Structure 1
């Protein structure tokens, strides 16, 4: 039986506090790969803003198709979705490195 996470693949870190929900990663992915508009390889999901401890919080989540991310990372370890992110909310790399970078951050980690 294959493990769900084997630790050998790449991972994408999405920092929830730094993401502005600008859709730049979505546009960068489409620009890089030129896939049809009826497909989504990277998608930004926006939630309605809400109040936490008296402060308004916005919340955006990226939804990557990780086998595409792995192929992209193999081609270029600094893909446009990461380098073009104005909030610097995305990181990609080996899972062990991404997990270390995620320590103490409010983030999601996606693995491929």
Structure 2
């Protein structure tokens, strides 16, 4: 895409952002029908040890540049009282929202929900680098790829592992089985079985984004609704 067209599309994007936001920038809830699977993930914070094997596997599988990351493990603490004391670990990555602000503000349709999987993704051929999606994401998990100049983020390894019938690389790499992945539309999936048996929360659920990243809280952590 040439420079003049990129500038034009960025300019047109301002109108798209105004059209899809309400008072004080609140996202207008839009329903996107999913025709196939609804992939989701659980991060069990009570099992996570913060080893970052998931982070390394993600970078290697998806060729993420050194200056960027699709996945971070944020450490907090120490918490608790001796001798029952430890650090807590929080996964920061795309939430694959069912009502994603990043999709609603994109002026070119580069940010979209894949209707066969429910995965929020980015088409680099349509991205003009306007960064509206980065600004709109309340989870701050998007970045501009320094090579492609396109917005990028976690896609649950949709075009790599998942395309080959495998689990996302972070799930496979976790030594503590702290990550559970599966289809919410399948009652017998591992994730649905886990959701029936574990107390979970969703980060910033109050925003109405309907994140498909569920979390089992560490017993020391305050649950963030």
TM-score by length of 1: 0.76
Structure 1 pair 77–111 and aligned structure 2 pair: CA distance change class (3 A) = farther
After alignment, is 28-37 or 69-78 more displaced? 69-78
Greater RCO between the two (CA within 8 Å, min separation 6)? 1
Structure 1 moving runs of 4+ over 6 Å: none
RMSD: 3.0
**1:57 CA displacement:** 3.6
Q: In the alignment, what sits opposite 1:105?
A: 198
Pick from 69, 73, 84 the counterpart of residue 156 of structure 2: 69
Given that residues 16 and 108 in structure 1 are in contact (C-alpha distance below 8 angstroms), is that contact kept between their aligned partners in structure 2? Answer: no
**1:18 CA displacement:** 0.9
1:39 is paired with a residue whose SS is coil
TM-score by length of 2: 0.41
Given that residues 16 and 107 in structure 1 are in contact (C-alpha distance below 8 angstroms), is that contact kept between their aligned partners in structure 2? Answer: no
Pick from 84, 91, 109 the counterpart of residue 180 of structure 2: 91
Structure 1 pair 70–30 and aligned structure 2 pair: CA distance change class (3 A) = closer
1:50-92 Cα distance to aligned partner (Å, 9 max, x none): 116x721421111222431162563243232112111110111
Given that residues 16 and 106 in structure 1 are in contact (C-alpha distance below 8 angstroms), is that contact kept between their aligned partners in structure 2? Answer: no
- Structure 2: runs of 5 or more not aligned: 1-29, 97-119, 121-154, 203-210, 214-225
1:4-28 Cα distance to aligned partner (Å, 9 max, x none): xxxx521111111111010111111
- Structure 1: runs of 5 or more not aligned: none
